[in-house]
Amino acid sequence: MELIDGKKVAAEIKQEIAAEVEKMVAGGKRRPHLAAILVGHDGGSETYVANKVKSCAECGFTSSLIRFEDDVTEDRLLEEIYRLNNDSEVDGFIVQLPLPRHISEQKLIEAIDYRKDVDGFHPINVGRMSIGLPCFRSATPAGIMMLLERYNVPTSGANCVVLGRSNIVGKPVAALMMQKGYPGNATVTVCHRDTKNLKEVCSNADILIAAMGRPESVTADMVKDGATVIDVGTTRVPDASRKSGFRLCGDVKFDEVAPKCAFITPVPGGVGPMTIVSLMRNTLLAAQHTIYQD
Amino acid sequence: MELIDGKKVAAEIKQEIAAEVEKMVAGGKRRPHLAAILVGHDGGSETYVANKVKSCAECGFTSSLIRFEDDVTEDRLLEEIYRLNNDSEVDGFIVQLPLPRHISEQKLIEAIDYRKDVDGFHPINVGRMSIGLPCFRSATPAGIMMLLERYNVPTSGANCVVLGRSNIVGKPVAALMMQKGYPGNATVTVCHRDTKNLKEVCSNADILIAAMGRPESVTADMVKDGATVIDVGTTRVPDASRKSGFRLCGDVKFDEVAPKCAFITPVPGGVGPMTIVSLMRNTLLAAQHTIYQD
């Protein structure tokens, strides 16, 4: 069993990005610039955004954090999005989700210029990814692909089972895994809450990607010997022994599943760190106009 | 075994659409208007476009056929697309594929205003379909969903195996079959040329959707008793006994597979007629501004 060390890979890729940025700067270009809109003071969102700002610094990017209180109107946020769309000093930006209920997340996402949509949530980027065209790939699926690639996990013709059909993980990672090329070209099955023979389907998987958000629901009897298991779950479980009062819990019962695996990602330290790295990579691509030229 | 009669369902839906159009006209609205751009004189394309024009008449639509010769430039076609985008008398239009090699199909598709993209090929419509938002669904997958619905084929929690991962059938029908709601909510597996255990995967399918374009490649030993088989294949096979010199051949070896099925579509007369009906339905929705309001 080999542990897939997302923290280490993330650090490596950030160094590669930083080197690329220094080359850009030496060539007279300005640093890539990522902006983030944060509404309210949700603990999880504060942590995610703080980590994104920190990663920007590590990659040599400029970052801007634009804060609004919980009672901000949708119109005010749209106005800010239009401003960022038109700001030639900003290469990409994100709206940290979730948002307060009185605001339509979808409306905001669709207002973002798809050429600056480094989260890859705009329908144009989702559609282009499905069709197989260059696009901003959404961060978590792109991070999973990078991990498979760095560890040379065989994917072509493999049975890949995706647990969960969310718009931000399950569906896009399924789309990427079925594309021609490496990593990809797998036979992909997408399971969800209404899948009847879940254990049977999972136990045929060469690659199992768990993204349901149900802590420790993937048990050893569901996993084939020699499988690669990617755990996308990050549920906060109360833990009095931690200063924070919680610990992150994956979808996989790690201790019993790991011994059966060829490769497995831990939680934390597996997919999580890669998600931010994907965002950094998308921002670099945006600054270099690699995907969209104008 | 029940035969899914696509020709009959298509005729029924065309009547429903025609009734809806007469209501619109009685209410003072103009008839829905579909335009088609046809380049060159490919036999298949001529037939498809002629059938679309005929279906428009049956539905009470206005139709326009805009012809270009094989040597038309990409710029001239783009100009025509921009004209149609801005023509308020045209609700939707299509560019009949395939196009001559010197023209980029993708560039043309992306030039179409997504609000008039009744073929559902524009990345925005593809992305919105994946996310589960209102959109123009591409014609063949939408036609398959209508057939499953009209015949009350149970889909929730069913194992659905899609053979083929094309952008116009395999991937979008997989996306629709995994969506919440009916028809859909199935556990979906997408297979392709590099799938290793094809026979095993197929023989677990409650619903098998064959869209590889390989004549009669789905044989009885690949199909479970009581399965529903949807045959999307329409390969032209030489046949000296026909006036046309060919016959349409599906991906399924019908004679041996049909006796095992709960439901099966024939070729021709199954999915084929539904594809045009989906286009008619999308054009109606475009004329009524049901999906995109402005």
Per-residue model confidence as pLDDT tens digits over B210-228: 999 999 999 999 999 999 9
Instruction: Closest CB to B157: pick one of A127, A171, A195.
Output: A195
CB contact under 8 A, A189 and B185: no
Taking the CA of residue B245 and the nearest CA in chain A, the distance in Å comes to 35
* pLDDT < 50 positions in chain A: none
Residues B183 and B109 in one domain: no
Q: Does B127 contact A132 at a Cβ distance shorter than 8 Å?
A: no
HEC sequence for A125-188? HHHHHHHCCCCCCCHHHHHHHHHHHHCCCCCCCCEEEEECCCCCCHHHHHHHHHCCCCCCCCEE
Same domain, B224 and B174: yes
Question: 3-state DSSP call for residue B87?
Answer: coil
Does A178 contact chain B (CB < 8 Å)? yes
- Count the domains in chain B: 2
Residue-number span of the structural domain to which B101 is assigned: 30-114
Q: Are residues A88 and A158 in the same domain?
A: no
**CATH number assigned to the domain comprising residue B212:** 3.40.50.720
B96 catalytic, yes or no? yes
CA pseudo-torsion sign A195, A200, A204, A205? positive
Among positive and negative, which fits the CA dihedral B219, B220, B224, B228? positive
Cβ–Cβ of A130/B171 closer than 8 Å?
Answer: yes
Query: What is the per-residue pLDDT for A44?
Result: 87
pLDDT value, residue A255: 97
Give every CB contact of residue B58 below 8 A, 6+ residues apart in sequence.
Answer: B14, B18
Domain containing B65 — which CATH number? 3.40.50.10860
Q: Point out the residue among B130, B159, B196 whose CB comes nearest to the CB of A130.
A: B130
Question: Quick one: A69 and A182 in the same domain?
Answer: no
Q: Determine whether the interchain pair B194/A201 forms a contact, defined as Cβ–Cβ distance below 8 Å.
A: no
Whether the CB of A181 is below 8 Å from some CB of chain B: the reply is no
Nearest CA in chain B to A202: B187
Q: Does B107 touch chain A (CB under 8 A)?
A: no
In chain B, the percentage of residues whose pLDDT exceeds 90 is 97
**Which entry of B5, B96, B171, B206 is annotated as an active-site residue?**
B96
Q: What is the pLDDT of residues A234-249, one digit of tens each?
A: 998 999 999 989 999 9
In a shared domain, residues B240 and B173: yes
Q: Are A197 and A232 spatial neighbours (Cβ–Cβ below 8 Å)?
A: no
The CB-side HSE value for B82 (13 A sphere, CA atoms) comes to 7
Q: Which residue of B has its CA nearest to A189?
A: B189
Nearest CB neighbour to A178, from listed B125, B156, B165: B165
Residues with Cβ within 8 Å of A102's Cβ and at least 6 positions away in sequence, in order, are: A74
Of A98, A113, A128, the last residue of a domain is A113
Q: Are residue B60 and residue B155 in the same domain, yes or no?
A: no
Examine the domain organization and report whether A84 and A156 are in the same domain.
Answer: no
CB B84 within 8 A of CB B93: yes
d(CA A37, CA A68): 8
Is position B224 within any domain?
Answer: yes
Catalytic pick from B52, B116, B171, B224? Answer: B52
Distance CA A120, CA A118 (A): 5
**10-residue averages of pLDDT along chain B (294 residues):** 97 98 97 98 92 97 98 98 98 96 96 97 97 96 98 98 97 97 97 96 98 96 98 93 92 98 97 96 97 88
| pLDDT at res. A108 | 98
Structural domain contains residue B10: no
Q: Is residue A118 part of a domain?
A: no
Same domain (yes/no): B146, B250: yes
Please state the pTM of the whole predicted model: 0.95
Q: Answer yes or no: do A34 and A107 share one domain.
A: yes
Compute the distance between CA of residue A148 and CA of residue A228 in angstroms, rounded to an integer: 9
Task: Specify whether A45 is located in the same domain as A155.
Answer: no
A62 in contact with chain B, both atoms CB, cutoff 8 A:
no
Angle at A23 between CA A20 and CA A26, to 5 degrees: 155
Partner-chain residue, chosen from B124, B132, B194, that has the shortest CB–CB distance to A124: B124
> What is the dihedral sign for C-alpha B45, B49, B52, B58?
negative
pLDDT for the residue B44 = 87
